[in-house]
Every structure is written in C-alpha cells, then in structure tokens.
Structure 1
Amino acid sequence: MKTKIKLYNVMFPVFFLLMVPITPIFLISILVNMIWDYLVFSFLVKKFRLEVDKMEKKIAFLKIFKLGFAADFIGAGILLAMMMGTKIGDHIGNYSYSGPIDQPVGAIIVFLAVVLSGVLLYIFNNKYTLKSLDWSTEDKKKVALWIAILTAPYTFLIPLNIFM
C-alpha cells in the first residue's frame, strides 16, 4: 500500500531564506554591533559602579543586542517605507547618495529616523532589558539612556558618496 505524502508549505522556508539578508556586510555589521553593544554595556556597568553577576550580564547583553537590532530595523524599515513612491522618499534617496549639503530635507528625515531608533532603544532597554536587574529605577534609566545615545544607528547618516 502506497502512502500519499503532501508537502503544502515546502516553498515557504526557501522563500523566507531568500529574504533574509545573509551578506558579508550584514554579517560584519552584526558582529560589530554585538561587540559595540557589549563594550558599551560593560563600560556603563563599571562607570556607574553597578552590581551584576556574569549570568545576569550575559542575559542583559543579549537582550540589549536583540532589541537594539530590532530598533535599528524599525528605523530602517520606516525609511524604506517612506522611500517607496513618495516625494519624501526622493529626498531620502538623494540624501543617501549625495549627502546633507545637497539634500537637507533628506538629512533631517534620516536624522529623525536615527532619533526614533534611539528612543525605541531607550524604551526597550528601560522597560524590558534592564527590568530584571536588581538596580534602582534611576540607575536603569541612566543606563538605558546612555545605551540609546551610544548605540543609536548613526551609520544611517553616512551618505554613499563618501565611498565613491
């Protein structure tokens, strides 16, 4: 007796993998971002003389890294969505190639996306990442603020004409 096997969703995983940006630049940016997040978090723990054991530090760092990438992607996603067929998108696209002098409107919009990502970083870290640590509310807010300031996606502001 033959058994019938139906494979309904075989194409979904392959299609999904095509959408995931697995390029050398993306992988390098993940590594650099991870190292930077670790250095910033470690520096802030020492600077503010905060107590945290190794396991808590590791868990907090991984949350900072994951939620930081999420905030960066949200900012980049908003810029990408704005670029899709809008007049504002023309300013953003032109800024990406020519820089802030030629496209001040684009520069302002990209700067606002960096600020939005920074605000999201602060919210994510203050409400979720640092919540489980046994620190005062004031210390959590200070650390979340400094993480947001030091790890915001400032690379959004770099125009491509620098490399050409």
Structure 2
Amino acid sequence: MKARNIIFPIWFLWLLPPVIILVVVGNFLLDSLVLVAVYTLAGVPRITNQSLKTLYKSSILKVVLFGFVADLVGVITLLAVTGLPLSIPPSLVSAVNLNPFTNVGAFLTVLGAIILSALCIYALNYFFTFKRIVAEKVTRTKLSATLAVITAPWTFLLPTSWFYPGM
C-alpha cells in the first residue's frame, strides 16, 4: 500500500466528482495567469527586488485557497437564500437556481453573492497574501482589487439549463 492511498484513497473519487478536479485545475490556471499579469503590470518585481518566479511561488497557493474560500462564501449565501425558509417567492428561488437572467431579483441576488465573494477575495489577499510581499498599500490594493474583480465567481450567473437542458 502506497502512502498516497492513505492520504487520498482512490475510492474517494466517487465522493469527489471529476468535474471538481477540472474546476480546481481551471481556477489554478486562471489565478496563475491573473497573478503573473498583475505582478508584471504593477511592477511588483521591481518594487520588491524579487523575481517574478519567487513572488509567484510565495503567493499562488494562498491566492487559490482564498479564492475557493471566497467562492464558498458566495455559494453558502445562495444556498441560504434558496434553501432556508425565508418567505422568498418561489419564482425568485427558481430563477436563482436555474437562470438568474429571467428575474431581476434573482439576478441581483446572484450578483450580490458574486460581489460578496469578490470582497472576500480582496480582503483575504490584501491582508494575508500580499501583506508581507508588498508593503506599499496602493500597489497592494491594486493587486487585490484586480484579482477580486477578475477571479470573482462570475460562473454563478450561468444558467443551469445550459448544462442540464431538461431543466
């Protein structure tokens, strides 16, 4: 028995759908591209006297993990809106779940969850990821804000019917 099977047994894959693996890889690639771009455009290697490779290695895992945490905050918000007995009209709940573009309230609800996630991405990266890397607050703000806007969970807006035509 190999050690990796103790940490991540192969039978666990039935609990973790393969689509999640694609999401993790996709998020990692997007976060990597955005991180390298914002570091380069903001001149962080010049400001910090560190190589782009060093900066990337010291921050990518935090950026990715904080992105997932922030996305989870948005998901929990949407689940609370649609799953808790809050006397929300069924048409709003249905639109949030299936197609937020069919109802203004649903669109604003989903957009609110996206904005909440983006604010979490901003705060977590500003106060934790970049705090020790970039002392200059203006640059740190630009880095965090750019990551928040670009890597916010915009996919929350995608209609479910695109993926499940029968719905």
User: Structure 1 length normalisation: TM-score?
Assistant: 0.80
Write out per-residue CA displacement over residues 41-77 of structure 1, whole angstroms, 9 at most, x where no aligned residue.
0011111121143333212111010001100011101
What is the deviation of 1:92?
3.4
State the alpha-carbon separation in 1 of the partners of residues 87 and 30 from structure 2. Answer: 35
- 1:30 aligns to 2:29 (yes or no): no
Write out per-residue CA displacement over residues 73-108 of structure 1, whole angstroms, 9 at most, x where no aligned residue.
11101111221133437313333324413x221111
Amino acid across the alignment from 2:138 = E
- The root-mean-square deviation of aligned C-alpha atoms, in Å, is 2.2
State the alpha-carbon separation in 2 of the partners of residues 89 and 133 from structure 1. Answer: 47
For the 8 Å contact 2:44–2:134, the answer to whether it is kept is no
1:55 matched to which residue of 2? 54
1:79 matched to which residue of 2? 78
Structure 2 stretches lacking a partner, 5+ long: 1-11
SS in 1 for 2:94: helix
Alpha-carbon distance change, 26 to 42 in structure 1, aligned in 2, over 3 angstroms: same
Work out the number of aligned pairs and report it.
Answer: 147
2:93 matched to which residue of 1? 92
Amino acid across the alignment from 2:137 = T
User: Structure 2 length normalisation: TM-score?
Assistant: 0.79
2:68 matched to which residue of 1? 69
State the alpha-carbon separation in 2 of the partners of residues 89 and 66 from structure 1. Answer: 34
Structure 1 stretches lacking a partner, 5+ long: 1-16
Alpha-carbon distance change, 77 to 95 in structure 1, aligned in 2, over 3 angstroms: closer
2:6 matched to which residue of 1? none
State the alpha-carbon separation in 1 of the partners of residues 77 and 111 from structure 2. Answer: 12
Identity of aligned residues (%): 25
What is the deviation of 1:132?
1.2
For the 8 Å contact 1:76–1:113, the answer to whether it is kept is yes
Higher CA-based Rg:
1
Alpha-carbon distance change, 94 to 87 in structure 1, aligned in 2, over 3 angstroms: farther
SS in 2 for 1:100: helix
2:5 matched to which residue of 1? none
Amino acid across the alignment from 1:67 = F
